[in-house]
Structure 1
């Protein structure tokens, strides 16, 4: 876990990676956000620097682990941001620990209704690799190697079966759905549909970006997050 930024600048922003990944592909977004907010970046169990559990951990249990981290760091009322499968983990955390989460942001959320087989996911990931710059692909694939095939496949099974659209419909917090306009993994129809499922949902696209928009367009993503969840002295109606 890494904490940085301004401690007096409104609700902290917590960044949660996707399947197989770590905090590393949030570095540019964290740098953009920390000018205005406290930023907390985590490596969930089995990812990045965090050790692998000796047993299976499903979405619900991963969310409980994240809630414990939020409580221990005093990050109550945080803006919880999840990318890809991280969208599932943050949605579930927001449902389980409502008192700790004020707003939810999902970037490139999975699994959309066009990619509900492992083959469809792998094909979309291959297309995305062609749309990302080499520096992003280096981070992605080195993190995948560090995660390992066994843990990746364990989490993939949970990712494919988690009912994202049903769970977001239960959210009490405002939800922002973000996607890169060239994202082949989370399509535009899916993003709009997720936002429409909530009582207070919004949808936005990041021009020119593919799936890893937070790394390729960090300033644009940061601006969207800060507009959605302004600090008290900058609150807008």
Structure 2
């Protein structure tokens, strides 16, 4: 397949990058069906989503976003709120002529994605996928999160996933990382997820100490229409280390093809 086309998109004076893989023409015209949009987590970029992006792009129009201040994008003068990042996602897709999409976030990206799902009009986001969601209130301190992430990196990640994450962390820098970390720790995910109208798939690596099984199952259960997929043999960066299984889970959940088993959970009525 062709490499994704990098597009610079500005929203409210803030520039981000959208990496687009569109059917048939190298990136200029979206297809008629729902696309898939991928959102990175804190301190990182589209790079650790590339394996998943390439696999998804074989079936559907696929977009990966580097939000303003992340990856190689210009850094805003002030830290953007989670709500502002959500507005960026929705406005960028509107500028690109993408009326309906499956929104997929990883780690802190699950917060950006959840907030976008709350802001979007009905039908705009057809399905919401939360990979390795944060932050479990039972591990609600920075020290607890750091310990879980450290265990994950040492015990459950591949050399390539660690290399991608840590080189992006270096590019991000400690000051920008810590500013965004405060926002991540304060976001009330359990409260927010109850307002999401779209069906929700929670995906976790079965060894992930950041998004453990109890938290992931609880979060899926709080969604109106929630489901949990656990992927064996990997940790937090599940979309890099088990990209094929994650691809299949997303496509099956969204009704876009490929079969995968999920664990349906009782949710709140919509």
TM-score (structure 2 length as normaliser): 0.83
Q: Which residue of 2 aligns with 1:4?
A: 21
User: How far does the alpha carbon of each residue in 1:145-167 deviate from its partner, in whole angstroms, 9 at most, with x for none?
Assistant: 11111111011000000000110
Write out per-residue CA displacement over residues 46-104 of structure 1, whole angstroms, 9 at most, x where no aligned residue: 10021110012111111111111111112221000000000000000010113431110
Number of corresponding residues: 233
Taking the TM superposition and a 5 Å limit, the aligned residue runs for 1:118-157 are: 118-130=142-154, 131-157=156-182
CA distance in structure 2 between the aligned counterparts of 1:26 and 1:98, rounded to whole angstroms = 26
Give the deviation of 1:10 after TM superposition. Answer: 2.9
Report if the CA contact (8 A) 2:100-2:125 is conserved. Answer: yes
- Where in structure 2 are the equivalents of 1:1-237 lying within 5 Å? 1-6=18-23, 7-8=30-31, 10-99=33-122, 100-130=124-154, 131-231=156-256
Q: Secondary structure at the match of 2:138?
A: coil
Q: Distance in 2 between matches of 1:168 and 1:45?
A: 24
**1:128 Cα shift?**
0.8
5+ residue gaps, structure 2, are 1-17, 24-29, 260-270
Deviation digits for residues 16-44 of structure 1, max 9, x if unmatched? 00000100001110111111011100100
Contact 1:21 1:47 in 2 (8 A): yes
Q: Is the 8 A contact 1:5 1:36 kept in 2?
A: no
User: Which one has a bigger Cα radius of gyration?
Assistant: 2
* TM-score w.r.t. length of structure 1: 0.95
2:136 is paired with a residue of what secondary structure?
coil
Deviation of 1:114 (Å): 2.7
* 1:76 match: secondary structure: coil
CA distance in 2, matches of 1:12, 1:150: 34
Secondary structure at the counterpart of residue 153 of structure 2: helix
Higher mean C-alpha deviation, range 7-16 or range 29-38: 7-16
Contact 2:33-2:100 within 8 A present in 1 as well: no
Greater relative CO, 1 or 2 (CA 8 Å, sep 6+): 1
What's the C-alpha RMSD, in Å, of the aligned pairs?
Answer: 1.4
Distance in 1 between residues matched to 2:139 and 2:98, nearest whole Å: 34
Q: Which runs of 4+ in 1 moved over 6 A?
A: none
Counterpart-to-counterpart distance in 1, 2:232 and 2:200? 20
